[in-house]
């Protein structure tokens, strides 16, 4: 790349030699006009991935980041080795039974991707040693074999045929989330001739093992069609079941737990509609359960001729209902309330086994599971059994694959406690520990501490923050990482990760915290609603309030505090650092959604219209335009000295365009002379939104980010020497 290519003639050129300087992209002013307001975007041209100068710039950014972090290589290697040392590289998960089989996943040292397996349910548990021949084991899918010849692989979905003789699976080899579906005969291990290209997420077999339902995306990558494939016929003969024309809605396919119905979901961010197809009559017309009504969300399960419906109909935080259902008919009137709505607790999910409904809930910054006996089920008349999360931890349902079962599984974890799997006897209520995540290297949770604290936001709202630290951490302020997300109602639940709480951070005296800001649902449905659309500013105010609270309480100082977020969490950290760049010592932003106003104005980009219900429609609504413009990180970069920043993006990302991070980095560097060598961009050339698909590649990426954080907070270099 030369100055004459795409670099600003007034800036410093990107010399790829020993003294590489930050790439300075040419300014090509572009006017964006809406509602009588004109914005000038000097780097709008970076959206054109077919422009060779764009690719040259991204490669120059990677080259600059490699040089700028070269001094961190010993530390990054050390952290990477520590991650490996605290991770069971060759492992096998605890088998989950389904009918006559039990399903599990194994990993093998040196292999990037998992191997999905099964064995007879009655056989002994599998050994983790891959060198031991196991005649009981059948390999369903070896993702390493599928990835051969590709730089990237994601297995999107797997679906078993009712007789469990076949598995349908979808795979993406570019990161674009465009899937190819194949079917495998589990007796022979061979794929059938059937191949379905250009599919999206969602797979479901009908009864009889001969019909598969799947979805296709439109040009904007919105799954909008449901198709039906008959095994043994070419995909060109597949039948379109339905098409959703409203661009706000995605379609998906699945199956009720008892296998009685194929389900078709049509969902936007705030409205849903479900349709049923009798699994025994796959060519039947789908029947609507409840017609969509704006603002009404619901999910369904089938149990003994009745529907269980989790809905926010006149129940903001959702309630659980039951209604009779005859085959081929929609839900009838007179719904029975099984679990009423509560203002302070939201019902977040529904599962079912024979005789019981399993409902996940959250509120007061904690999670729980309600196990509700249905008529005739074990424990009838006992009332719901409520399983609570451990202090500052998380409880969630396990893989309960069987509908006919006398027990259910659930897991607990926290920032410092490895994942533990339990089994609950539905008749007696007795709980048994089945498995605990092994952590090599002598890890002992007693060496660490975790707790929940509360900060006060600008409007008086109390915001929870979950903190973890090493027990022998020195008293007084020290280095700290604060992570947040805060969008779509997705909550940041505390969970154990060997690349986070073990040696890389906590053992170096760095505390780690999760901020439960508005936009998630940690404190109920209202907590989410108060962090979206016109109230989105609450998310950023909450995050800043938590950061300041941690400093006031003596955990850290602004210079020793790094904030981190990904995707919509990247928007969170980007908007928050604009509010007060001096409040932080470092920022890590992964695939950040920072150019949100320009993106939300462009309906040609993937997902834009679907996202309007979360962020607002700035194209037709001037108030929404003004609101987003007021916080959009790219539009509000100040002429100030920003913290050191490590930003990532991915060229094939269809959720957040690579250009958002690239433009943001250019604008940050141009905002203040001190920022020019303080902002780094790392671009994944062969990956999508979720980064590298291989676990070793992902660990290397996390190790580099951790080394950057330690260095930026004044910890890493001293400990690496």
Tokens of 262: 């194929």
Give the Cα separation of 514 and 493 in Å (integer): 8
φ, ψ dihedrals at 341, nearest 5°:
-70, 150
The residue among 106, 112, 197, 104 whose CA lies nearest residue 148 is 112
Which one of the listed residues 170, 354, 414, 567 is annotated catalytic?
567
Q: Specify the CATH number for the domain of residue 549.
A: 3.40.50.1820
Whole-angstrom distance, CA of residue 67 vs CA of residue 61: 10
What pLDDT is stored for residue 132 in this prediction? 85
Q: What is the pLDDT of residue 20?
A: 79
Is 653 marked active-site? yes
How far apart CA 305 and CA 405 sit, in angstroms, is: 18
Tell me what percent of the chain is helix, strand and coil, each rounded to the nearest 5. 20, 35, 45
Give the N- to C-terminal CA distance of the chain in Å, as an integer. 35
Question: Looking at residue 130, what is its pLDDT?
Answer: 78
Residue 368 lies in a domain: no
By C-alpha distance, which of 223, 260, 171 is closest to 688?
171
Tell me how many domains the chain contains: 1
Count other C-beta atoms under 10 Å from residue 18's C-beta.
Answer: 6
Catalytic residue among 86, 299, 689, 706: 689
DSSP 665: H
**Is there a domain that residue 206 lies in?**
no
List the one residue out of 644, 536, 642 whose CA is nearest residue 593: 536
Q: How many helices (H) and strands (E) does the chain have?
A: 12, 39
Q: By C-alpha distance, which of 420, 414, 412 is closest to 449?
A: 414
Instruction: Flag whether 534 is in a domain.
Output: yes
Which residue stretches of the chain have pLDDT < 70?
1-19, 326-333, 376-382, 501-502, 716-721
State yes or no: is 492 an active-site residue.
Answer: no
Q: Report the pLDDT value the prediction gives residue 376, as an integer from 0 to 100.
A: 54
The C-alpha torsion from 296 through 299 and 302 to 305, rounded to 10°, is 0
Secondary structure (DSSP) of 570-609: HHHHHHHHHH-GGG-SEEEEES----HHHHHH-TTSTTHH
Question: Rounded to the nearest 5 degrees, what angle is found at the Cα of 413, between the Cα atoms of 412 and 419?
Answer: 85
Write down the pLDDT at residue 382.
60
Domain-embedded: residue 65 = no
Does 249 reside within a domain?
no
What are the φ/ψ torsions at residue 392 (nearest 5 degrees)? 55, 25
* CA dist 172 → 154, 155, 187, 688 (Å): 5, 6, 25, 10
C-alpha distances out from residue 124 to 105, 136, 137, 186, 686, Å: 15, 9, 11, 20, 41
In whole angstroms, give the CA distance from residue 449 to residue 611.
39
**pTM, 2 dp:** 0.93
pLDDT of residue 10: 33
Rg, Å, the chain Cα set: 26
Q: Other C-beta atoms within 10 Å of 558: how many?
A: 17
DSSP 569: H
Query: Is 244 part of a structural domain of the chain?
Result: no
Q: Does 431 reside within a domain?
A: no
For residue 478, being part of any structural domain is answered with yes
Computed over every residue of the chain, the mean pLDDT equals 93
Range of the domain at 698: 451-607+639-720
Annotated catalytic residue, options 142, 238, 507, 653: 653
Residue 43, helix vs strand vs coil: coil
689 labelled catalytic: yes
Reported as a single tens digit per residue, the pLDDT across 523-570 is: 999 999 999 999 999 999 999 999 999 999 999 999 999 999 999 999
């Amino acid at each position: 790349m030369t100055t004459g290519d795409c670099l600003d003639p007034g800036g410093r050129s990107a010399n790829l030699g020993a003294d590489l300087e930050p790439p300075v992209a040419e300014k090509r002013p572009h006017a964006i006009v809406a509602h009588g307001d004109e914005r000038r975007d000097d780097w709008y041209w970076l959206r054109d991935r077919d422009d060779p100068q764009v690719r040259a710039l991204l490669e120059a950014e990677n080259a600059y980041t490699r040089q700028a972090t070269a001094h961190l290589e010993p530390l990054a290697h050390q952290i990477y080795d520590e991650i490996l040392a605290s991770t069971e590289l060759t492992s096998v998960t605890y088998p989950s039974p389904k009918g006559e089989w039990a399903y599990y996943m194994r990993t093998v040292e040196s292999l990037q991707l998992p191997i999905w397996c099964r064995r007879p349910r009655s056989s002994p548990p599998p050994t983790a040693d891959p060198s031991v021949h196991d005649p009981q084991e059948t390999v369903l899918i070896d993702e390493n074999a599928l990835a051969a010849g590709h730089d990237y692989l994601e297995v999107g979905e797997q679906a078993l045929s009712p007789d469990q003789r076949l598995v349908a699976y979808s795979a993406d080899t570019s990161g674009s989330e465009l899937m190819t579906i194949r079917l495998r005969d589990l007796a022979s291990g061979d794929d059938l001739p059937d191949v379905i290209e250009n599919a999206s997420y969602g797979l479901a077999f009908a009864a009889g093992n001969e019909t598969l339902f799947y979805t296709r995306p439109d040009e904007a990558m919105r799954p909008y069609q449901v198709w039906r494939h008959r095994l043994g016929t070419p995909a060109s003969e597949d039948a379109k079941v339905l098409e959703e024309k409203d661009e706000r809605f995605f379609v998906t396919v699945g199956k009720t737990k008892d296998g009685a119905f194929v389900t078709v979901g049509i969902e936007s961010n705030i409205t849903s509609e479900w349709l049923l197809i009798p699994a025994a009559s796959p060519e039947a017309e789908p029947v609507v359960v409840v017609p969509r009504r704006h603002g009404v969300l619901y999910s369904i399960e089938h149990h003994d001729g009745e529907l269980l419906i989790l809905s926010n109909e006149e129940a903001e935080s959702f309630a659980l209902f039951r209604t009779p259902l005859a085959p081929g008919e929609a839900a009838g009137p007179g719904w029975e309330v099984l679990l009423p709505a509560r203002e302070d607790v939201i019902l977040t999910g529904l599962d079912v086994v024979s005789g019981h409904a399993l409902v996940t809930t959250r509120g007061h910054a904690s999670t729980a599971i309600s196990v509700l006996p249905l008529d005739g089920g074990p424990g009838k008349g006992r009332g719901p059994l409520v399983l609570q999360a451990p202090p500052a931890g998380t409880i969630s349902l396990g893989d309960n694959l069987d509908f006919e079962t006398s027990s259910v599984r659930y897991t607990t974890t926290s920032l410092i406690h490895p994942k533990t799997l339990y089994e609950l006897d539905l008749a007696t209520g007795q709980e048994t520990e089945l498995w605990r995540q092994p952590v090599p290297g002598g890890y002992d949770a007693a060496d660490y501490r975790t707790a929940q604290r509360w900060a006060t936001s600008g409007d008086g709202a109390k915001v929870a923050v979950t903190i973890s630290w090493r027990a022998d951490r020195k008293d007084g302020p020290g280095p700290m990482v604060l992570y947040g997300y805060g969008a779509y109602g997705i909550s940041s639940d505390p969970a154990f990760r060997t690349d986070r709480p073990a040696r890389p951070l906590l053992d170096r005296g760095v505390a780690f915290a999760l901020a439960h800001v508005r936009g998630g649902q940690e404190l109920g449905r209202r907590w989410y609603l108060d962090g979206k659309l016109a109230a989105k500013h609450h998310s950023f105010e909450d995050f800043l309030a938590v950061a300041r609270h941690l400093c006031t309480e003596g955990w850290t100082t602004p210079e020793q505090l790094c904030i981190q977020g990904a995707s919509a969490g990247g928007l969170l950290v980007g908007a928050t650092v604009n509010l007060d760049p001096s409040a932080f010592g470092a920022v890590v932003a992964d695939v950040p959604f920072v150019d949100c106003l320009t993106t939300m104005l462009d309906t040609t980009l993937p997902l834009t219209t679907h996202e309007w219900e979360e962020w607002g429609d700035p194209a037709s609504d001037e108030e929404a335009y003004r609101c987003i413009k007021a916080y959009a990180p790219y539009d509000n970069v100040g002429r100030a000295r920003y913290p050191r920043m490590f930003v990532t993006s991915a060229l094939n990302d269809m959720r957040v365009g690579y250009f958002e991070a690239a433009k943001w980095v250019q604008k940050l560097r141009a905002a203040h002379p001190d920022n020019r060598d303080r902002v780094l961009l790392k671009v994944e050339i062969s990956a999508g939104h979720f980064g590298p698909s291989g676990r070793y590649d992902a660990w290397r990426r996390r190790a580099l980010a951790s080394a950057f954080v330690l260095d930026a907070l004044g910890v890493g270099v001293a400990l690496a020497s």
